[in-house]
Amino acid sequence: MPFSIALAGKGGTGKTTVAGLLIKYLKSKGKGPILAVDADSNANLNEVMGLDVSDTLGHAREDMKKGKVPEGMTKDIFISMRMEEAIVEADGYDLVVMGQPEGSGCYCAANTLLTNFLEKLTDNYPFLVMDNEAGMEHISRLTTKNVDVLLIVADTSRRGLQAAVRINDLARELNIGVEKSFLIINQARNGVPDPAMAIIEEAGLELAGTIPEDDAVYEYDMKGEPTVGIPEENPAVQAAFDIFDRIIA
């Protein structure tokens, strides 16, 4: 089983950027190969990493449900073939994108095949990094049920912190076996204000650290350049790496 790290957070908090920095960190420490899974319905981890994605696991699931399995081919072979095609290979890691949520109708058979394939796939990697939407539906349904570290990314806004609290509560309710959960405050301007810290402490969240707001992140995004290309000496990257040093053995 890989060491699995899942990320979740409200939209706009920079969660996917943090996921990309985590992959960058693991690569720099020689901890690959890494399996990166983009399970956010608004998938853009590939853009942070500078990769082109032409297929998703959702496409395979849709095609199976619509009966597009070639004659003479079993459904499990079809799903395995399509999922192999959906893997984007990169330097030190591979990326798979879950894709959009299902449409109407029953996807039970396709979901079961996807689950089985993902479980076999993850065994080939020592590290798994999964970027999730706030609801974490994919963790509870389409992936391994064991999460070694859950990183909840938030900003210092009240809504962002309230979303982080709900995510942490949901993680405890779902049967996903979270070993440890940490809060990361991203895009911090002047540390963590006292009102924000009060919310964190009242909810019992463990604050792993803060990542400062940085113009380089914004500039790379506006230019369409992969965020992971930001040099390691950048203050935001350094802050993220310091956090990862503390929470990943």
Q: How far is residue 155 from each of residues 122, 147, 159, 167, 205, measured CA to CA in Å?
A: 31, 23, 9, 14, 14
Per the CB < 8 A criterion, the answer to whether 51 and 95 are in contact is: yes
- With 0-12 / 13-18 / 19 or more C-beta atoms within 10 angstroms meaning exposed / middle / buried, residue 87 is middle
Please report which confidence band the pLDDT of residue 112 belongs to, taking 50, 70 and 90 as the band edges.
low
Predicted pLDDT at 76: 81
| Bigger pLDDT: 15 vs 108 | 15
Per the CB < 8 A criterion, the answer to whether 124 and 134 are in contact is: no
> How many CB atoms are located within 10 Å of the residue 168 CB?
20
Residue type, 199: I
Q: How far is residue 213 from each of residues 13, 23, 197, 202, measured CA to CA in Å?
A: 11, 20, 18, 25
Q: Could you confirm whether domain 3-247 is CATH 3.40.50.300?
A: yes
Predicted pLDDT at 226: 94
Average pLDDT, the chain: 86
